[in-house]
């Protein structure tokens, strides 16, 4: 699988939440139309915790402190989503608010502007 980022931006995307289970697929791997539950987020309140893309980039207090409050994205390299541990453009919809240097995890909030598309 190629390297992809889930680009949740403040300008163009409508972030609803996180699926609480995997999509159902048929034997060919095609997603079957179905309903699923999503965990909705409260902007700037709900904390989403995930593994950092590169845990070695945040394995000291100084490295973690250097990226706190930075804007970032989800990253899909392989089959598992992680949280990118490098700063992204100012339009990224996730803000790093904390982390655990021992476990290699990051905590992010979703910016309220990422929860709705631009209205003309």
**Each residue of 73-110: pLDDT tens digit?**
888 877 788 899 887 777 788 899 999 999 999 999 98
Instruction: Give dist(CA 99, CA 67) in Å, integer.
Output: 10
| Site of tokens 């709705």 | 116
Instruction: Say yes or no to pLDDT of 20 above 80.
Output: no
Query: Could you tell me the residue ranges of all domains in the chain?
Result: 4-15+41-115
Question: Residue 73: what pLDDT?
Answer: 87
For the chain, the DSSP string reads: ---EEE--BTTT----EEESSPPPB-TTSPBPP----EEE--TTT--EEEEBSSGGGGSSHHHHHHHTT-EE-EEEETTEEEE--S---TTBSEEEEEEETTTTEEEEEE-GGGGS----
pTM score, whole prediction: 0.74
Per-residue confidence band for 2, with pLDDT thresholds at 50, 70 and 90? very low
């Amino acid at each position: 699988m190629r390297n992809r980022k889930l680009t949740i931006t403040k300008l163009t995307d409508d972030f609803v939440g996180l699926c609480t289970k995997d999509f159902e697929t048929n034997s060919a791997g095609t997603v079957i139309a179905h309903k699923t539950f999503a965990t909705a987020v409260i902007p700037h309140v709900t904390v989403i915790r995930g593994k950092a893309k590169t845990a070695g980039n945040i394995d000291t207090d100084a490295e973690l402190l250097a990226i706190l409050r930075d804007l970032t994205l989800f990253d899909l390299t392989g089959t598992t989503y992680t949280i990118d541990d490098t700063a992204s453009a100012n339009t990224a919809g996730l803000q790093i608010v904390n982390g655990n240097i021992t476990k290699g995890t990051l905590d992010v909030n979703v910016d309220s502007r990422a929860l709705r598309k631009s209205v003309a």
